[in-house]
Amino acid sequence: MGKNIIMNKETLKNTIQQLFASNKGLLAMDESTDTCNKRFAAAGIEQTVEMRRRYRELIVTTPGLNENIGGAILFYETIRQQTKDGINFIDVLTKAGIIPGIKLDMGAKPMAGFQDEKVTEGLDGLRERISEYKTLGARFAKWRAVIAIGDGIPTMQCIEANVHALARYAALCQEADVVPIVEPEVLMDGAHNLQQCFDVTEQVMKILFYQLYKYKICLEGMILKPNMVIAGTKSTVQNSKDEVAEATVNCLLQSVPAAVPAIAFLSGGQSANDATAHLNAMNKNFKNRLPWILTFSFARAIQQPALDAWKGDDANIKEAQNLLYQRSKLDVAARQGMY
C-alpha cells in the first residue's frame, strides 16, 4: 500500500501513556458554543462568552483534578482563554500535568440527500489548524461523527462519509505527531433496543477500522472514543448494568483491533451514575479478557452535577469544583472495577 506517512510513533505512544497513567481518564470540556449555551440555558445560566470563560476557569482550576484527569479536550474558543488573573487555561492545565487537547471537527451538519442523518465537517484547512493548535500546546485532538438509529437509518452512505472523514482527520493528526481521538458516536436517541445498538455499533466499527487501515492510520497511536452499547432512551426495555457491560465488551471485541491501546467512552446522555457504573461493570467483569484499556472521556457524566451546583454564581465555585473532583475520582475507580 505504498510508504507509510511520516510520523513519530514513539511520540504518539508516549502521549497516550501519559494521558492514561495511574488509571486516569479524559475530561471532555469541548462543548461547542451552541451546545454549551443549551446546557447553560437549561441550568438558568446566562449564555455569554464571559460566562463560558468563567465556567471553564472553574473546571481547569479544580484542586486535585490532575489526580483523575490526564487530558482535557478544549473547544477553540476555550484554548485561547485565560483565568481572571490572566493565566492561559492551557498553561494552568499543563502546569497541573493535564495534557491539553483540541476538538478539531466543525460539527455534524445535515447530510444532503439523507434525511435525519448528519456528516461531520472540518477537513478543509485542517493541516494548518493542527499546526496552530500544536504551537499553542495541544498534543491530542478529537473529531466526533454521529450516527443515528431510526427507520431505515443509518444508511451505508452516512457511515461511509463519516468514517472517511475520521480517517483523513486521523492521518493529518498523526502526520503532526498529535494523537487523534476517533469518535464515531452511535446516538442513544430513539426507541431502539440494545441489540439494535449492538448491530449498528459493530457495523460502524468494522467499516471504520477498514477505512483506518486504508488511510494508513497507526492504530497504536490513536484512541477510540465510542458509545456504550445501550438501549435507546425511548426504548421500553432497559437493561441491567451487567447486560450493558457485556454487550459493549462483546461488540468491541468483535470489531476493534487489539493494537488500539485505549478505548475512552463518551457518556452520551447517560446519568453520571449510570455511565460510571457501566464502565465499572466492564472492568470488573471482563478486565482479564481485554486487550485495551477501558476508560472514560466523559463530558456530561463528569460535568453535569458541577454545572447544576454552580448555577453561574461564583459563591458556588468550591462546591462545583468538589463535585467535579468527586465525579472524576469515581470514574478512576470504575476504570479499575472498584466503583
**Residues assigned a catalytic role:** 183, 225
Distance CA 307, CA 41 (A): 11
Would you count residue 301 as binding ligand 13P (CB under 6 A)? yes
- Please tell me the count of residues contacting ligand 13P according to CB under 6 A: 10
Assess contact for 200 and 194: CB atoms under 8 A.
no
The stretch near ligand 13P (CB under 6 A) out of 191-199, 279-287, 297-305, 309-317 is 297-305
CB of 297 to ligand 13P, least distance (A): 6
Would you count residue 298 as binding ligand 13P (CB under 6 A)? yes
Of the candidates 74, 193, 52, 192, the residue with the CA atom closest to the CA atom of residue 137:
74
Binding mask 158-197 for ligand 13P (x = CB under 6 A): -------------------------x--------------
The three-class DSSP label of residue 2 is coil
Q: Count how many residues are written for the chain.
A: 339
Of the candidates 99, 90, 103, the residue with the CA atom closest to the CA atom of residue 69:
99
Contacts 24+ apart (CB under 8 A), 82-88: 83/57, 84/54, 84/57
Q: Please identify which residue in 16, 19, 28, 320 interacts with ligand 13P, judged by CB under 6 A.
A: 28
Residues facing residue 150 across a β-bridge: 153
Q: Please identify which residue in 100, 154, 184, 268 interacts with ligand 13P, judged by CB under 6 A.
A: 268
What are 53's three cell numbers?
A: 470563560
Q: Please identify which residue in 108, 176, 186, 266 interacts with ligand 13P, judged by CB under 6 A.
A: 266
Q: What is the CA radius of gyration of the chain?
A: 19
What are 124's three cell numbers?
A: 478543509
Distance CA 73, CA 291 (A): 25
The stretch near ligand 13P (CB under 6 A) out of 209-217, 276-284, 294-302, 325-333 is 294-302
What are 110's three cell numbers?
A: 445535515
The stretch near ligand 13P (CB under 6 A) out of 89-97, 204-212, 255-263, 293-301 is 293-301
Q: Please identify which residue in 139, 144, 278, 335 interacts with ligand 13P, judged by CB under 6 A.
A: 144
Pairing between β-strand 118-120 and β-strand 108-110 as defined by DSSP bridges: antiparallel
Nearer to ligand 13P, 58 or 301 (CB): 301
Please state the separation of Cα 121 from the chain's center in Å.
17
Amino acid in position 196: Q
Which residues, other chains included, contact 310 with Cβ-Cβ below 8 Å and sequence gap of 6+?
43, 45, 55, 58, 316, 317, 319, 320
CB of 10 to ligand 13P, least distance (A): 27
The three-class DSSP label of residue 295 is strand
Nearer to ligand 13P, 298 or 325 (CB): 298
CB of 138 to ligand 13P, least distance (A): 15
Nearer to ligand 13P, 190 or 268 (CB): 268
Binding mask 211-250 for ligand 13P (x = CB under 6 A): ----------------------------------------
Nearer to ligand 13P, 77 or 83 (CB): 77
Nearer to ligand 13P, 7 or 293 (CB): 293
Would you count residue 141 as binding ligand 13P (CB under 6 A)? no
CB of 170 to ligand 13P, least distance (A): 16
Q: Please identify which residue in 23, 81, 120, 267 interacts with ligand 13P, judged by CB under 6 A.
A: 267
What separation in angstroms does the CA of 185 have from each of 66, 144, 242?
Answer: 27, 7, 21
Q: Which residues bind ligand 13P (CB under 6 A)?
A: 28, 144, 183, 266-268, 298-301
